[in-house]
């Protein structure tokens, strides 16, 4: 008996995994149903006629029905619709197709004269019977498919969908969708008392106001989680309902968005909410169409293309109609992964992966003269503060000398625009990394001014973009906290009062593209980073979202500020230090302008010191040239002027 049951389960599983019925099977089914409908009408009419229809007439009518259905099915492609994804709009299309069949049917009847009377009445009856039969079979097939699919998921968790909007209702009705297979919607949860006791899509609507009411509801109906249709709605309830769920150990779920599905972030399931969802904010609106128009047909070079920011810039650029995308990075494995991703998602894109170091003038010259880029996005940099504090010469060699190499090559080969990715740590720097990025800013800005004044021959427009921490970037705090929580703690925070500004990687990169297209040369664009986040609070929230209690289940340990680290990052969009642009979230920093002829000797001297690893002389030169550079919690404080 158990063998028979197992065999049946395997058959059901195979049937449920059939994605789409063959279109020829659907065409044949529709044609057969059309003929059956005609036979039904013939039989029904014969009941009210004494002599009925002859065999010849019956055969002709069935033949006309078959041929008419084949013709309209071909014209309207009704057999190509995926039945399990059918919508009301597609049913109307089917409705019109059957109407077309009846018109052809009527024409054939009139031309042959096989029905001497009531031909129109016959065709009308045939129309209704055909529609009912074909739609009924589709409904049965859809329900059978859903039953088979759901029968393979015996331990589904009961959840409530937040809200009663169209989005929520659609989500609840999509229980057979692949990403809902592990869950069963048991109702809707509303914050509107007027909707209490309603039923929507055959499911009850529950109203809760307090955590005790949610607890009673969860116990009574065996609820294991709340599903939010979007992260934005979860943010709205972050201080109330999300907190309730954490305290009651209920799952907090969000439906996967299209971008996540495309990027393969989720796999066959809705996911638990992330801290990134709660830290998010209203998405900054970017005119991607205008950016696409400006980049259309151009060759674009991205340095540091395999890094967190560089790779996302490449993904954004790949969506535009550019002539080719040249990706330059020294990391072999990350570049290989980026290549596989872009070739899979953008098969029409002309993608050129180049392994190279920005410190190599010869390699850069080869790339510029071979691939003739017209726009450069310079994202190559060393970014980790503690590492650069310990390896200061490499910070200068990559972030300053490397930037100079790329910028000089851009001028030499007549690049139209050069967009450099910088950081908020370049503002009043307290560490080697921040100062190295400020030096890079000074070089490209002074070079731009020299070109505008005619002191340097060229046409390149240099634009700099500054922003703060990006969520989920390589080596950032959130992936580290996740790993520490996964390992049982402790979660390490450098200081109880340390705060940072956060932005998502896609948002930051879209702003880079926007700033790059709006810039006229010489600007340092700064982004509105929103509200600052206390890192200790971030750690607590991540522990809670993982289902643990801070300082009880998982310890938060304060380790002290790292070398060069400061408690508070600068507010980039301070109105006193910036000028407005047409975009409300992008401003232009008001900074001192440097003369290129004065800057160049300092850059050359720093390059010399870094190459020779003369650290004291190099740091002293950095502090003299960038007087706002004051080291904090660092061995280099001794070189600050008192």
**Per-residue pLDDT tens digits for 18-62:** 444 456 677 777 778 777 878 888 787 777 766 667 778 778 878
Q: Would residue 36 count as lying in a domain?
A: yes
Q: Which two tokens stand for residue 26?
A: 């659907």
Burial class of 30 by CB neighbour count within 10 A (0 to 12, 13 to 18, 19+): buried
Active site residue 239: no
* pTM of the model as a whole: 0.68
Q: For residues 261 and 400, state if they share a domain.
A: no
Average pLDDT, the chain: 79
Alpha carbon distances (Å) from 405 to 166, 352, 364: 55, 20, 8
Question: Nearest Cα to 178, choosing from 22, 9, 17, 13?
Answer: 17
Domain endpoint, select from 130, 150, 170: 150
Q: For residues 259 and 335, state if they share a domain.
A: no
Q: For residues 419 and 525, state if they share a domain.
A: yes
pLDDT at position 542 over 50: yes
The pLDDT of residue 625: 94
CA dist 266 and 257 (Å) reads: 10
The pLDDT of residue 483: 85
CA angle 422, 428, 430 (to 5 degrees): 95
Q: Where are the alpha helices (DSSP H) in 453-534?
A: 477-486, 505-518
pLDDT at position 5 over 50: no
pLDDT at position 86 over 70: no
pLDDT (average), residues 426-446: 93
Q: Would residue 488 count as lying in a domain?
A: no
Question: Nearest Cα to 32, choosing from 166, 133, 145?
Answer: 133
Percent pLDDT > 70 in the chain is 79
Strand partners, 33: none
**Per-residue pLDDT tens digits for 151-167:** 555 566 788 888 777 77
Q: For residues 27 and 140, state if they share a domain.
A: yes
Q: How confident is the model at residue 90 (pLDDT cuts 50, 70, 90)?
A: low
Alpha carbon distances (Å) from 599 to 394, 407, 412, 463, 543: 20, 14, 19, 17, 48
pLDDT at position 264 over 70: no
Residue found under tokens 């990052």 = 569
pLDDT (average), residues 436-454: 94
Q: Would residue 563 count as lying in a domain?
A: no
pLDDT at position 433 over 90: yes
Catalytic residue among 101, 383, 417, 425: 425
Q: For residues 329 and 359, state if they share a domain.
A: yes
Q: For residues 216 and 94, state if they share a domain.
A: no
Residues 6+ apart with CB under 8 A from 605: 621
**Per-residue pLDDT tens digits for 283-322:** 566 677 778 888 889 999 999 999 888 998 999 899 888 9
CA angle 495, 498, 502 (to 5 degrees): 135
Q: For residues 243 and 185, state if they share a domain.
A: yes
Q: For residues 187 and 320, state if they share a domain.
A: no
Residue 53: count of CB within 10 angstroms of its CB: 17
Q: Would residue 483 count as lying in a domain?
A: no
pLDDT at position 14 over 50: no
Q: How confident is the model at residue 517 (pLDDT cuts 50, 70, 90)?
A: confident
Q: For residues 115 and 189, state if they share a domain.
A: no
Q: For residues 213 and 298, state if they share a domain.
A: no
Q: Would residue 62 count as lying in a domain?
A: yes
Q: Would residue 559 count as lying in a domain?
A: no
CA dist 66 and 29 (Å) reads: 11
Instruction: Tell me the CATH number at 438.
Output: 3.40.50.720
CA dist 229 and 269 (Å) reads: 14
Domain endpoint, select from 94, 117, 150: 150
Strand, helix or coil at 419?
strand
Number of domains in the chain: 3
Q: For residues 169 and 235, state if they share a domain.
A: yes
Q: Would residue 30 count as lying in a domain?
A: yes
Torsion of CA 22, 27, 31, 32, to 10 degrees: 0
Question: Nearest Cα to 83, choosing from 91, 71, 73?
Answer: 91
pLDDT (average), residues 505-512: 80
Q: Would residue 311 count as lying in a domain?
A: yes
Q: For residues 403 and 524, state if they share a domain.
A: yes
Task: Find the domain containing 336 and state its range.
Answer: 288-471+502-532+570-625
pLDDT at position 436 over 50: yes
CA dist 603 and 607 (Å) reads: 6
pLDDT at position 265 over 50: no
Most confident of 69-83, 242-256, 386-400, 586-600: 386-400
Q: Is the Cβ–Cβ distance between 423 and 437 less than 8 Å?
A: yes
**Per-residue pLDDT tens digits for 613-625:** 999 999 999 999 9
Q: Where are the alpha helices (DSSP H) in 391-534?
A: 392-395, 403-412, 432-452, 477-486, 505-518
Domain endpoint, select from 150, 183, 198: 150
pLDDT at position 180 over 70: no
């Amino acid at each position: 008996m158990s063998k028979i049951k197992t065999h049946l389960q395997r058959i059901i599983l195979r049937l449920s995994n059939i994605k789409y019925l063959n279109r020829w099977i659907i065409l044949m089914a529709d044609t057969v149903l059309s003929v059956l409908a005609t036979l039904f009408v013939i039989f029904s009419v014969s009941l009210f006629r004494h002599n009925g229809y002859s065999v010849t007439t019956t055969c002709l009518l069935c033949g006309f029905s078959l041929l008419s259905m084949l013709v309209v099915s071909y014209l309207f492609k009704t057999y190509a619709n995926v039945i399990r994804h059918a919508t009301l709009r597609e049913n109307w299309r089917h409705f019109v197709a059957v109407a077309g069949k009846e018109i052809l049917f009527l024409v054939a009847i009139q031309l042959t004269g096989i029905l001497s009377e009531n031909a129109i009445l016959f065709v009308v009856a045939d129309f209704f019977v055909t529609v009912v039969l074909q739609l009924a079979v589709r409904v049965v097939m859809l329900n059978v498919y859903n039953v088979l699919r759901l029968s393979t998921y015996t331990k589904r968790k009961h959840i409530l969908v937040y809200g009663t909007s169209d989005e929520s209702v659609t989500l609840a009705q999509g229980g057979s969708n692949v990403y809902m297979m592990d869950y069963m919607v048991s109702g809707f949860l509303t914050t509107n008392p007027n909707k209490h006791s309603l039923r929507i899509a055959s499911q009850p609507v529950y109203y809760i106001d307090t955590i005790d009411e949610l607890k009673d509801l969860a116990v009574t109906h065996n609820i294991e989680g709340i599903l939010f249709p979007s992260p934005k709605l979860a943010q709205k309830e972050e201080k109330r309902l999300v907190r309730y769920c954490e305290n009651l150990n209920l799952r907090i779920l969000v439906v996967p968005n299209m971008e996540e599905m495309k990027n393969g972030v989720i796999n066959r399931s809705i996911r638990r909410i992330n801290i990134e969802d709660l830290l998010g904010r209203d998405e900054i609106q970017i005119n991607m169409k205008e950016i696409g128009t400006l980049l259309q047909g151009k060759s674009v070079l991205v340095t540091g293309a395999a890094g967190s920011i560089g790779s996302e810039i490449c993904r954004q650029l790949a969506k535009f109609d550019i002539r080719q995308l040249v990706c330059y990075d020294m990391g072999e494995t990350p570049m290989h992964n980026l290549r596989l991703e872009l070739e899979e998602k953008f098969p029409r894109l002309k993608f050129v992966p180049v392994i190279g170091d920005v410190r190599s003038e010869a390699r850069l010259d080869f790339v510029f003269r071979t691939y003739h880029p017209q726009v450069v996005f310079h994202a190559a940099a060393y970014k980790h503060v503690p590492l650069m504090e310990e390896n200061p010469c490499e910070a200068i060699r990559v972030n300053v000398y490397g930037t100079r190499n790329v910028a000089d090559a851009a001028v030499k080969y007549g690049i139209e625009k050069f967009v450099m990715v910088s950081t908020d740590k370049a503002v009043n720097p307290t560490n080697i990394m921040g100062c190295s990025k400020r030096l890079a800013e000074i070089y490209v800005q002074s070079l731009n001014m020299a070109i505008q004044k005619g002191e340097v021959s060229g046409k390149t427009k240099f634009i700099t973009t500054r922003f703060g921490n990006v969520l989920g970037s390589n080596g950032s705090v959130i992936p580290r906290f996740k790993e520490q929580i996964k390992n049982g703690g402790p979660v390490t925070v450098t200081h109880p009062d340390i705060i940072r500004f956060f932005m998502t990687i896609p948002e930051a990169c879209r702003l880079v593209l926007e700033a790059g297209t709006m810039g006229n040369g010489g600007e340092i664009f700064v982004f509105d980073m929103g509200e600052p986040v206390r890192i200790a609070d971030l750690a607590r929230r991540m522990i809670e979202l993982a289902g643990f209690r801070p300082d009880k289940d998982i310890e938060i340990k304060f380790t002290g500020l790292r070398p060069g680290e400061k408690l508070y990052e600068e507010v980039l969009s301070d109105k006193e230090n910036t000028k407005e642009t047409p975009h409300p979230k992008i401003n232009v920093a008001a900074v001192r302008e440097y003369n290129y002829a004065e800057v160049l000797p300092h850059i050359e001297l720093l390059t010399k010191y870094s190459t020779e690893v003369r650290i004291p002389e190099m740091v002293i030169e950095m502090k003299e040239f960038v007087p706002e550079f004051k080291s904090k919690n660092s061995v280099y404080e001794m070189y600050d002027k008192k």
